[in-house]
């Protein structure tokens, strides 16, 4: 379906200067969220050019995975604000990337697709499924079936030949560095997917795998005794030496997975303690200075001016999953509000750049716009601000409430059984890489390994 300019869909949006946000006024929050969403979508032209190479993705230097993250943010926008202006564009983007086997193994993007990239698209698909977001195309399975297809491709890549298990960072041998690195985001993504599918389907196979991935993550040291989540380890060394560089998005991914399992198991204390521990450990991503209390920052790179484009988006996923955690485990709400209310105000003030005073910068603790704009910066602010509305929105639907909806969005829960979905399997036939696939793999973790070693020596 061809959609004309995204700007045409939002001409009536209220462009409130973000710096003037009143977080205690829902009208103000919605207005600022609308402004931030408009500026995020200003980066997107794929529905105008309307070619397979441009639909759903954002222009260079942004990679395929971040597009999946951006559509997840826009699904949050639609759900939290009730503004459906972008829903058709979101649907077009998501359906364009399902791939020939409806599992987000997309030949066009094999050059940059790793396990963590696929996981981020799965988060968006699960958002759609858990909210009964319309899926009007009869030639493509319902959102929940697509999520299960993704899971089936990932479980087939679980590799116990090193480190006792785990997913490699990358999928294809043409990305050789990532084939020898097992990272927390790929495995945390698989953990969160398993948790959410357990709740969405009621199938215990997913619950068992969620427990298995958590146990492995603890055993290998990706999640330590204080619930800090570290980046990963070299599988050539059997994961004996953990890279203790840490990023906010990994913390959030594991946190929300644990919270979903707390909800799914009717308040199991173990999962409650894990969720609380992960939230407590997330304190390390807040309060960089005494005059910046409770303001979020990316502690591995922001203070040292070394964040790349990927990293500039990471805070948004911690915000997304912290707000989502409050709907699965309400006891976390006071602490999350303490941190994210302050961060939302700071983020909004950072979105005071550009001609209209609506472009977002990177650092929220400087008291205004820092002159560093980007897609990730817009997305991080949007997720943090729109989450202020999370308590007024419906929580994610679960098994028995999820339906294949083709019409209007925001369908209320139902007691009817969910659409029948394929059963999970531990041994599907993995999708092979197309010989025609092209792409460039850009490495950054290895450079940061050197940086982390330097920081340890400099600040020890």
The DSSP secondary-structure symbol of 114 reads B
Direct distance between the N- and C-terminal alpha carbons of the chain, in angstroms, rounded to an integer: 56
Q: Which two tokens stand for residue 375?
A: 């897609």
Q: What is the pLDDT of residues 99-109, one digit of tens each?
A: 999 999 999 99
Q: Which helix (H) or strand (E) holds 236?
A: none
Rounded Cα gap, residues 278 and 169, in angstroms = 22
Binned at pLDDT 50, 70 and 90, residue 174 comes out as confident
Q: Which two tokens stand for residue 48?
A: 């105008």
Specify the pLDDT at position 178. Answer: 87
Composition of the chain by helix, strand, coil, percent to 5: 55, 5, 45
More confident residue, 428 or 310: 310
In degrees, to the nearest 5, what angle opens at C-alpha 223 toward C-alphas 297 and 280?
A: 50
More confident residue, 445 or 251: 251
With a cut of 90, say whether residue 6 has pLDDT above it. Answer: no
pTM above the 0.75 mark? yes
Total length of the chain: 460
Q: Which two tokens stand for residue 212?
A: 């298995």
More confident residue, 103 or 450: 103
Residue 61, phi then psi, degrees to nearest 5:
-95, 25
Mean pLDDT computed over every residue of the chain = 89
Cβ–Cβ < 8 Å for 303, 297? yes
Specify the pLDDT at position 424. Answer: 59
Residue with tokens 């603790």: 365
Q: How far is C-alpha 97 from the geometric centre of its chain's CA atoms?
A: 17
With a cut of 50, say whether residue 282 has pLDDT above it. Answer: yes
Residue 234, phi then psi, degrees to nearest 5:
-80, 120
Q: What is the pLDDT of residues 336-386, one digit of tens each?
A: 999 999 999 999 999 999 999 999 999 999 999 999 999 999 999 999 999
Rounded Cα gap, residues 336 and 275, in angstroms = 12
Mean pLDDT of 318-323: 98
Q: Which two tokens stand for residue 81?
A: 């604000």
Alpha helix (H) ranges present in 184-267? 184-201, 204-220, 248-264
Specify the pLDDT at position 176. Answer: 75
Mean pLDDT of 186-210: 98
Binned at pLDDT 50, 70 and 90, residue 177 comes out as confident
Specify the pLDDT at position 408. Answer: 61
Neighbouring CB atoms inside 10 A of 455's CB total 15
Angle between helices 314-328 and 248-264 (to 10 degrees): 20
Please list the residues that pair with 307 across neighbouring strands.
none
Q: What is the pLDDT of residues 53-67, one digit of tens each?
A: 999 999 999 999 999
Q: Which two tokens stand for residue 171?
A: 């999928």
Specify the pLDDT at position 232. Answer: 98
Name 394's Cβ contacts closer than 8 Å, sequence gap at least 6.
79, 131, 410, 412, 413
Q: What is the pLDDT of residues 88-99, one digit of tens each?
A: 999 999 999 999
Q: What is the pLDDT of residues 108-152, one digit of tens each?
A: 999 889 999 999 999 999 999 999 999 999 999 999 999 999 999
Rounded Cα gap, residues 394 and 348, in angstroms = 25
With a cut of 90, say whether residue 443 has pLDDT above it. Answer: no
- DSSP, collapsed to helix, strand or coil, labels residue 328 as helix
Distances in Å between the alpha carbon of 416 and those of 265, 398, 412? 21, 11, 12
The overall longest dimension of the chain from CA atoms, in Å, is 59
Rounded Cα gap, residues 56 and 39, in angstroms = 16
Q: How far is C-alpha 216 from the geometric centre of its chain's CA atoms?
A: 22
Neighbouring CB atoms inside 10 A of 309's CB total 17
The closest of 268, 129, 275, 231 to 448, measured between CA atoms, is 231
Q: Please report, rounded to a whole number, the percentage of residues in the chain having pLDDT higher than 70.
A: 85
User: What's the order of all strands across the beta sheet hosting 232-234?
Assistant: 181-183, 232-234, 242-243
Alpha helix (H) ranges present in 363-444? 375-386
Binned at pLDDT 50, 70 and 90, residue 15 comes out as low
């Amino acid at each position: 379906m061809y959609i004309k300019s995204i700007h045409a869909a939002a001409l009536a949006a209220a462009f409130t200067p973000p710096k003037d946000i009143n977080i205690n006024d829902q009208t103000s929050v919605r207005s600022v969220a609308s402004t931030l969403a408009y500026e995020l979508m200003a980066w997107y032209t794929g529905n105008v050019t309307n070619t397979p190479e441009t639909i759903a993705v954002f222009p260079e230097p942004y990679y395929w995975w971040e597009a999946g993250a951006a559509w997840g943010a826009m699904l949050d926008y639609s759900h939290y604000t009730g503004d459906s202006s972008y829903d058709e564009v979101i649907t077009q983007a998501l359906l364009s990337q399902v791939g020939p086997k409806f599992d987000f193994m997309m030949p066009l993007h094999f050059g940059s697709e790793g396990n963590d990239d696929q996981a981020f698209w799965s988060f968006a698909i699960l958002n759609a499924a858990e909210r009964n977001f319309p899926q009007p195309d009869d030639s493509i399975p319902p959102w929940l079936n697509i999520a299960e297809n993704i899971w089936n491709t990932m479980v087939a890549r679980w590799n116990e030949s090193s480190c006792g298990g785990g997913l490699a960072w990358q999928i294809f041998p043409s990305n050789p560095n990532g084939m020898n690195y097992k990272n927390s985001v790929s495995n945390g993504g698989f953990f969160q997917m398993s948790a959410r599918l357990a709740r969405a389907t009621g199938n215990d196979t997913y619950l068992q795998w969620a427990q298995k991935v958590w146990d492995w993550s603890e055993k290998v040291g990706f999640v330590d005794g204080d619930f800090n989540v570290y980046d990963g380890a070299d599988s050539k060394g059997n994961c004996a030496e953990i890279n203790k560089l840490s990023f906010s998005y990994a913390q959030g991914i594991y946190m929300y997975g644990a919270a979903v399992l707390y909800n799914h198991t009717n308040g199991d204390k173990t999962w409650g303690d894990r969720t609380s521990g992960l939230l407590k450990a997330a304190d390390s991503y807040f309060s960089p200075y005494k005059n910046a209390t409770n303001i979020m920052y990316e502690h591995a790179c922001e203070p040292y001016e070394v964040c790349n484009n990927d990293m500039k988006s990471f805070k948004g996923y911690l915000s997304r999953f912290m707000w989502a955690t409050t709907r699965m485990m309400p006891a976390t709400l006071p602490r999350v509000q303490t941190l994210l209310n302050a961060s939302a105000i700071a983020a909004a003030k950072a979105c005071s750049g550009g001609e209209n005073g609506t472009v977002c910068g990177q650092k929220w603790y400087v008291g205004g716009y820092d002159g560093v704009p980007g897609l990730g910066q817009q997305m991080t602010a949007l997720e943090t601000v729109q989450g202020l509305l999370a308590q007024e929105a419906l929580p994610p639907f679960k098994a028995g409430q999820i339906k294949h909806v083709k019409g209007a969005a925001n369908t209320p829960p139902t007691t009817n059984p969910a659409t029948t979905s394929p059963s999970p399997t531990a041994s599907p036939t993995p999708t092979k890489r197309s010989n025609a696939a092209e792409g460039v793999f850009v490495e950054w973790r290895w450079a940061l390994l050197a940086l982390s070693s330097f920081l340890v020596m400099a600040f020890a």
